[in-house]
Chain A
C-alpha cells in the first residue's frame, strides 16, 4: 500500500538510506541506556554465580531442571501469570471501552484515578485485602484468605489500569465510523467488533498483556502476603537464594530460567503485535466520545463502573478509612499529625513533606529520562516496522523484535538481581553510582521505559507512512518530519506514557529499597518503615502516608494528562 510510484524510486532510495541512519541513530541512546543500567549489572551478577572461579559452571542450571521443587516453582510462576493476565484483560477491556467512548461526569478523574492501585506499595494493599478476606473481615465468608484466588484478585487490582489505559488510549482515537459502516452492511455488533475494532486494537492489547504478564510473572509481595508461605514464584525463590542463603549460583540459574521464559514470551508477543500494526484512521478523542444512549448502553456503563468501584474502590476505601480512624473510636486527623510528629529528629525519619518532595523530584527526573529513552526507541521501532511493508525485509523484523525485547526485559527480571548487580557493576568511575541519589530516578526509569515504548509504539506505527513520505519529498529533514507529522499524533500517547512513568516512579519500592539514601526517602519507603514496628500510631501514620501517596498519584496523572501545548495535546 505504500509502494511508491516508479518515477519516485531514486528519491525513495535516498529517504530509505537516510531513514536507516536515523533509525540507528535513534536507537543509540535507548540501547546504551538499557545496556549500562540493566544488561551490564545483570550480566555482572550472573557472572558471579556461573563463573565462580573464572570457569563456566552450569551445574546449578541442571539443579533447577532436575529439582522437582524448583520445577514446581517455575510452573506455578508461569501459570499464575498467564491466568492473571487473561483475567486482567477480560475484566479491564470493557472498562477501556467505557472510558474511551462514553462521555459521563467524572470520566477524566476516573481515567487518572485508576492508576492509583498501580502505585500502592504491596505491603499496604496486602494488608487492605487481608482485612477484607480474613476470617473476621467483610468477605471472610468466601474463604479465600491465603489462596490462589486472593493472589489473582490482587493481580487484577494492580494491573487493571495497565490494560484499561493502554488499550483505552488507542481506542479513544479509533474512528467509530468504520465499525458503524460494518453494522450498516449487516454485521452484528459482535461481528463488527471482532472484524473491525479488535484487529485495530490488537497491538495495544498485546502490549498491555505483555506488561501485565511480566508484572505478575515477577510478582513478589502479593505472593508472600496474600498467598502465604505455601506459594512461591521464581522471584520469591531468587530473593531467598540471594538475600537469605547467598547461593549465587542457584540464584543465577533461576534468573536465567526467568530471562529465557520472559524473552521467549516477549518475542512471540512482539511478532503478534507487529502483524496487524497497519496505519489506522485516528481521530481526536473528543470527537469520538458520546453520551451513552438507551438502557443497554447505560447498563453497560453502570456495570463497568460497578466493577471499578468494587475491585479498585473497596480496597482503597479501606486504606483511607483506616488513615482517618482514631483508636478511641470515631474519625480524625490524628494519623496525619502523627506522620509529621513521629520520630522527629531521628536520622532515618524525615518529615513527610520532605518525603513527598523527594518522591516528586525523583518521579519528575525518572519521567524525563523514560520519555527521552522510550520515546526515541518507540520512534525507531515504529519506523522499522513501517519500512518493512515497503521492502519486505525479514532481518529488519528480527532486529526490531530483538531491540523491543531487550527494552522490555527489565520488567521480567528480579529487582534483587538488578539491585545486587548495580552494586558490583556500577562501582568504578565514571559510573560509580553506588549510594548516589541519581541512581534512584535511573532505576525507576529502567522500569518505566518499557511502558513508554509499549504505549507509544502502537500509536506511532498507526501513523500513515504516506504522510511522512510526502513531507520528506517536500524537502523536510527527518527531524522536521518527526516534528510535523509524528509529534502532534504522538503527543497524546506521550502524555499517557508520562502518566505511567510518573506513577511507576512514585510507587516503586523493590529496587528503591536497595539503593535509597536515608537522606532522600520516598513515600513508599516511609510507609515500609512505619509498618515495620508495632503500635497503633505507626500503623495509622503508614495508612496516612499511603493515602497521601494515592492522592499525589491521581493529581499528578491528571495534571500531566491535562497538559497541552496549543491544540497539540488535544489529539
Chain B
C-alpha cells in the first residue's frame, strides 16, 4: 500500500516537473491546428539563426485551436498562433487576442492576401476548396465533366455529388460559402433546394466523403464528385506507390472557394521579439518552399519555387470565389442554420 502511494506521489512530482519545461528561456511556443506540418531541418534552421527553439502545440482542428486561444486569453497557451483562416478571421480579430506586427517580408506577399490593415494577422499560405472529379468515371460513362455550379443541378449529374456538413466540416463550410458567393445572399437557398432535389449526399467530414464515398478514393464509394481541395490531384499522385503519370482526379475550377491561413502573435506573450522573428521566418523563402509538400497548400510569397508534383498536377483557379471576412463573421451561424433546414430536415 505504501509503495503504491509512493508511486502516485512520484507520478505527481514527475507531472509537476514536466509542466515546468514550457517556461524555459529561449523556447517559443507555436499553437497550431492539427494539419500544420513542417520539415525538421527547416525549424532547426530558424533555431540556428536566432538561437530560439520552437515548440509546436497542435490543438485540434482550426476552430478548436482558435477557440482555445480565445478561452486562454488571460494566460495564453503559447506565443504565436498559426491556422486562423479567413472563415474564422473576424472572430479572432473581434476577440482581441492578437497584437499587430507588420513584417518587412510582407513586401513579397501580394496585397490580395493581406486582409487585416492593422496586421494583427499575417498571411502564410492559401488553398482552394473545390469539387474534385474522378476522371476515369466520366470517361467510362461518356459523360461530360460538369463545369459550372449550375451544372450540378442538371439531372444528368443526379446523385453524383458528395459534400460535407458545414456544421462539422471546414471544406463543407467553404463550399457553402462558395455557393453564397456565387448566388448571393438571397439566391443560394434555391440553389441548395435544387441540389437536394438532385440527390446530393451529405456526410459529416472530409474523411468520410473522400475515403468513403468518392469513387477515386480508398473505399467502395460511388460518387464521382466530391468537395475536397485543389491540391488533392497532386496529393493523390504524390501519395501513390508507384506514382501514376497522370492524376486520377481533376478539379472543377468554377467551384473553388479560397481559404487563406494566417499567423498572429498572441497578446500577453513575454517573447514578442522572438515571436516577430518567427513570423518573419514563416514568410521566408525557406519556410514558404517547405509548405506545399507538408500541408498541401500554396505559399503566399511570390516567386517561391513549387515542387514538381504541384507544377504538373495542380490546377489553380485564376479567380476563385470568396467573401469578405466580416460578412462571413456576421452570417456564418445563420447560414449554417438555414442550410441545415434546407438540406437535412
Q: A residues near B, CB below 8 A?
A: 29, 48, 123, 126-127, 130-131, 134-137, 140, 146, 224-225, 228-230, 236, 240, 242-246, 322, 327, 334, 338, 343, 345-349, 365, 368-369, 372-373, 375-376, 416, 420, 423-424, 427-439, 441-442, 479, 482-483, 513-514, 516-518, 528-529, 531-539
CB contacts (< 8 Å) of A427 on chain B: these are 72, 75
A430 to B1, CA, bound (A): 25
A533 near B204 (CB under 8 angstroms)?
no
B219 near A327 (CB under 8 angstroms)?
no
Q: Does B38 contact A (CB under 8 A)?
A: yes
A372 to B2, CA, bound (A): 11
A203 to B26, CA, bound (A): 56
A73 to B15, CA, bound (A): 39
A348 near B208 (CB under 8 angstroms)?
no
A228 near B41 (CB under 8 angstroms)?
no
Q: Does B304 contact A (CB under 8 A)?
A: no
6 contacts between A and B (CB under 8 A): A123-B207, A140-B220, A243-B60, A348-B56, A372-B8, A436-B19
Which chain A residue shows the least CB distance to B207? Answer: A531
B15 near A439 (CB under 8 angstroms)?
yes
A424 to B70, CA, bound (A): 10
A228 near B204 (CB under 8 angstroms)?
yes
Which chain A residue shows the least CB distance to B132? Answer: A534
A534 near B39 (CB under 8 angstroms)?
no
CB contacts (< 8 Å) of B211 on chain A: these are 127, 531, 539
Within the complex, what minimum Cβ distance (angstroms) separates A318 from chain B? 10
A343 to B238, CA, bound (A): 11
A228 near B203 (CB under 8 angstroms)?
yes
B7 near A372 (CB under 8 angstroms)?
yes
Task: Taking A135-B220, A229-B168 as given, write out 5 further A-B residue pairs in contact, using a Cβ cutoff of 8 Å, ordered by the A residue number.
Answer: A126-B208, A338-B241, A532-B35, A534-B236, A535-B235
A114 to B57, CA, bound (A): 35
Convert B228-243 into 0s and 1s, putting 1 for each residue whose CB lies closer than 8 angstroms to a CB of A: 1000100110111100
B15 near A134 (CB under 8 angstroms)?
no
Which chain A residue shows the least CB distance to B238? Answer: A535
A416 to B71, CA, bound (A): 13
* Chain A CB within 10 Å, residue with most, of B37, B333, B344: B37
Interface size class of B (residues with CB under 8 A): 35 or more
Within the complex, what minimum Cβ distance (angstroms) separates A227 from chain B? 8
CB contacts (< 8 Å) of B64 on chain A: these are 243, 416, 514
A348 near B37 (CB under 8 angstroms)?
yes
A134 near B40 (CB under 8 angstroms)?
no
Q: Does B326 contact A (CB under 8 A)?
A: no
B228 near A534 (CB under 8 angstroms)?
yes
CB contacts (< 8 Å) of A483 on chain B: these are 1
Convert B55-87 into 0s and 1s, putting 1 for each residue whose CB lies closer than 8 angstroms to a CB of A: 111111101100110111001010000000000
A483 to B211, CA, bound (A): 54
CB contacts (< 8 Å) of B40 on chain A: these are 345-347
A347 near B212 (CB under 8 angstroms)?
no
Which chain A residue shows the least CB distance to B72? Answer: A423
Q: Does B217 contact A (CB under 8 A)?
A: yes
Within the complex, what minimum Cβ distance (angstroms) separates B308 from chain A? 16
CB contacts (< 8 Å) of B4 on chain A: these are 372, 375-376
A372 to B222, CA, bound (A): 51
A525 to B97, CA, bound (A): 28
B220 near A518 (CB under 8 angstroms)?
no
CB contacts (< 8 Å) of B11 on chain A: these are 365, 368-369, 438, 441
CB contacts (< 8 Å) of A224 on chain B: these are 168, 204-205, 208
A409 to B241, CA, bound (A): 47
A529 to B60, CA, bound (A): 11
CB contacts (< 8 Å) of A538 on chain B: these are 239
Q: Does B43 contact A (CB under 8 A)?
A: yes
CB contacts (< 8 Å) of A225 on chain B: these are 203-205, 208
CB contacts (< 8 Å) of A376 on chain B: these are 4
A423 near B37 (CB under 8 angstroms)?
no
Within the complex, what minimum Cβ distance (angstroms) separates B190 from chain A? 21
B37 near A130 (CB under 8 angstroms)?
no
A424 near B208 (CB under 8 angstroms)?
no
Within the complex, what minimum Cβ distance (angstroms) separates A456 from chain B? 14
A348 near B36 (CB under 8 angstroms)?
yes
A334 near B19 (CB under 8 angstroms)?
no
Within the complex, what minimum Cβ distance (angstroms) separates B37 from chain A? 5
A483 to B15, CA, bound (A): 29
Q: A130-B212, A228-B202, A327-B241 are in contact. Are A345 and B39 (CB under 8 A)?
A: yes
Convert B139-179 into 0s and 1s, putting 1 for each residue whose CB lies closer than 8 angstroms to a CB of A: 00000000000000000000000000101100000000000
Within the complex, what minimum Cβ distance (angstroms) separates B62 from chain A? 10
Convert B35-57 into 0s and 1s, putting 1 for each residue whose CB lies closer than 8 angstroms to a CB of A: 11111110100000000000111
Within the complex, what minimum Cβ distance (angstroms) separates A69 from chain B? 9
Which chain A residue shows the least CB distance to B4? Answer: A372
B36 near A243 (CB under 8 angstroms)?
no
Residues from 207 to 231 in B contacting A, C-beta threshold 8 Å: 207-208, 210-213, 217-222, 228
B67, B77, B204, B207: the one within 8 Å of A532 (CB): B207
Within the complex, what minimum Cβ distance (angstroms) separates A161 from chain B? 25
A434 to B71, CA, bound (A): 13
A243 near B35 (CB under 8 angstroms)?
no
A442 to B217, CA, bound (A): 38
Q: A343-B37, A517-B57 are in contact. Are A436 and B15 (CB under 8 A)?
A: yes
Which chain A residue shows the least CB distance to B55? Answer: A435
CB contacts (< 8 Å) of A240 on chain B: these are 167-168
Within the complex, what minimum Cβ distance (angstroms) separates B214 from chain A? 9
A245 to B63, CA, bound (A): 8
A365 to B12, CA, bound (A): 11
Within the complex, what minimum Cβ distance (angstroms) separates A251 from chain B? 10
Q: A346-B37, A533-B296 are in contact. Are A433 and B235 (CB under 8 A)?
A: no
Within the complex, what minimum Cβ distance (angstroms) separates B334 from chain A? 11
A416 to B241, CA, bound (A): 37
Q: Does B34 contact A (CB under 8 A)?
A: yes
* Chain A CB within 10 Å, residue with most, of B14, B204, B235: B204
Residues from 70 to 109 in B contacting A, C-beta threshold 8 Å: 70-72, 75, 77, 91
A423 to B74, CA, bound (A): 11
CB contacts (< 8 Å) of A438 on chain B: these are 11, 14-15, 18-19
A225 to B211, CA, bound (A): 12
B240 near A127 (CB under 8 angstroms)?
no
CB contacts (< 8 Å) of A126 on chain B: these are 208
B37 near A229 (CB under 8 angstroms)?
no
Within the complex, what minimum Cβ distance (angstroms) separates B215 from chain A? 9
Within the complex, what minimum Cβ distance (angstroms) separates A182 from chain B? 40
Q: Does B269 contact A (CB under 8 A)?
A: no
Within the complex, what minimum Cβ distance (angstroms) separates B72 from chain A? 6
A127 to B40, CA, bound (A): 32
CB contacts (< 8 Å) of B20 on chain A: these are 432
Within the complex, what minimum Cβ distance (angstroms) separates B84 from chain A? 13
B34 near A513 (CB under 8 angstroms)?
yes
A131 to B221, CA, bound (A): 8
CB contacts (< 8 Å) of A134 on chain B: these are 212-213, 219-222
CB contacts (< 8 Å) of A243 on chain B: these are 60-61, 63-64, 67
Which chain A residue shows the least CB distance to B218? Answer: A539
A131, A229, A518: the one within 8 Å of B219 (CB): A131
B204 near A514 (CB under 8 angstroms)?
no
A435 near B210 (CB under 8 angstroms)?
no
A437 near B208 (CB under 8 angstroms)?
no
A229 near B294 (CB under 8 angstroms)?
no
CB contacts (< 8 Å) of A244 on chain B: these are 63, 167-168
Q: A135-B222, A347-B38, A534-B232 are in contact. Are A435 and B22 (CB under 8 A)?
A: yes
B19, B205, B235: the one within 8 Å of A533 (CB): B235
Which chain B residue shows the least CB distance to A136? Answer: B220
B72 near A424 (CB under 8 angstroms)?
yes
CB contacts (< 8 Å) of A29 on chain B: these are 5, 8
A424 to B220, CA, bound (A): 43
A518 near B58 (CB under 8 angstroms)?
yes
Q: Does B251 contact A (CB under 8 A)?
A: no
A334 near B37 (CB under 8 angstroms)?
no
Within the complex, what minimum Cβ distance (angstroms) separates A232 from chain B? 9
